[in-house]
């Protein structure tokens, strides 16, 4: 695929008023989500739940793409239509999570590195055949006493860059996700410092690996107070500090930035995105790639009555997509 085609896909992923729904939870992660609402973690229940999300009527009004898990991209609707095909026919770009999760970084207690580069070229080739047009790799940066180390940050951003180069080789848009974790008692200033260093390392690595930024999407965490910090930053402060950090580190040639919700409440994730876009215009579109903040309310409804609440759960998914789509335009507060 040419850089023009990669760039076209990347731009479509951050089309005005649209964002990404992340439904790429691993089998173990979705087991925890299901357990929390009393659903058995069977393959059929996982398939049925992903179908509920992806077949929400008019989802493409506000959703440009969806990130799938390996199991999901091989599954089909109850009518036998492969999910990737269904998505493409209904205006949603199929994406795929390709990392193999985090593992302890040897010699650095409390720090992790994401693995999955071994055999990645062949896996990406297969995912492209299955219909994927973009991929996602998540790195995890923890904040704590004397961490993160420079070694941890550089190891993770180096892996992100290698992954991104392999994606573009196979014609897939890489979504690079260096998540600075919210857990901890750190304040917003500490989060700013760590996020800034991480993003500078990331874009240096992408440059060194000849990754074409025009065909790359950044999935960023917001600059925010730690979950147990006594002083929680306001919506306006989170928006201002996140924008200041991004403008000092992210090249303007990038087609767009999507935010992860990272454990924020549904409304907080939407409010922060809305506030950032109200402060625009910016060098790049700012949109969303939310998982829990898009799904949690619908999952609770569906769990109560899988057949009886199916339509109501889909209506909840659509409402969350609409709210975040409006926030991606800076119009949510006015519409609320």
- What are the catalytic residues? 177, 219
Residues 6 or more apart whose Cβ sits within 8 Å of residue 107: none
Q: Are 273 and 288 in contact (CB under 8 A)?
A: yes
Contact 137, 159 (CB under 8 A): yes
Q: DSSP string of 124-168?
A: HHHHHHTT--EEEEEEEE--BTTBS-HHHHHHHHHHHHHHHHHHH
């Amino acid at each position: 695929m040419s850089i023009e085609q990669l760039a076209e896909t990347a731009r479509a992923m951050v089309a005005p008023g649209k964002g990404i729904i992340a439904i790429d939870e691993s089998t173990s992660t979705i087991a925890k989500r299901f357990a929390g609402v009393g659903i058995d973690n069977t393959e059929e229940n996982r398939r049925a739940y992903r179908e509920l999300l992806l077949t929400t009527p008019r989802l493409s009004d506000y959703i440009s793409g969806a990130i799938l898990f390996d199991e999901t991209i091989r599954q089909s609707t109850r009518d036998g239509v492969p999910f990737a095909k269904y998505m493409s026919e209904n205006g949603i770009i199929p994406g795929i999570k390709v990392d193999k999760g985090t593992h302890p970084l040897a010699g650095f207690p409390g720090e992790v590195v994401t693995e999955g580069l071994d055999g990645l070229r062949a896996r990406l080739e297969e995912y492209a055949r299955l219909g994927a047009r973009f991929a996602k790799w998540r790195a995890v940066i923890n904040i704590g006493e004397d961490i993160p180390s420079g070694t941890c940050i550089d190891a993770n951003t180096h892996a992100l860059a290698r992954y991104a180069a392999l994606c573009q080789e196979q014609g897939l848009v890489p979504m690079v996700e260096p998540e600075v974790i919210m857990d901890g008692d750190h304040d917003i200033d500490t989060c700013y410092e760590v996020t800034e260093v991480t993003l500078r390392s990331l874009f240096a690595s992408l440059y060194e690996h000849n990754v074409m930024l025009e065909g790359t999407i950044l999935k960023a965490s917001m600059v925010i107070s730690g979950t147990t910090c006594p002083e929680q930053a306001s919506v306006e402060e989170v928006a201002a500090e996140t924008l200041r950090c991004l403008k000092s580190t992210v090249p303007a040639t990038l087609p767009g930035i999507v935010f992860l919700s990272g454990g924020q409440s549904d409304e907080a994730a939407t409010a922060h995105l809305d506030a950032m876009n109200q402060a625009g215009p910016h060098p790049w579109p700012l949109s969303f790639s939310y998982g829990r903040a898009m799904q949690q309310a619908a999952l609770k409804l569906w769990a109560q009555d899988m057949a009886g609440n199916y339509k109501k759960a889909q209506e909840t998914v659509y409402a969350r997509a609409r709210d975040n789509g409006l926030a991606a335009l800076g119009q949510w507060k006015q519409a609320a």
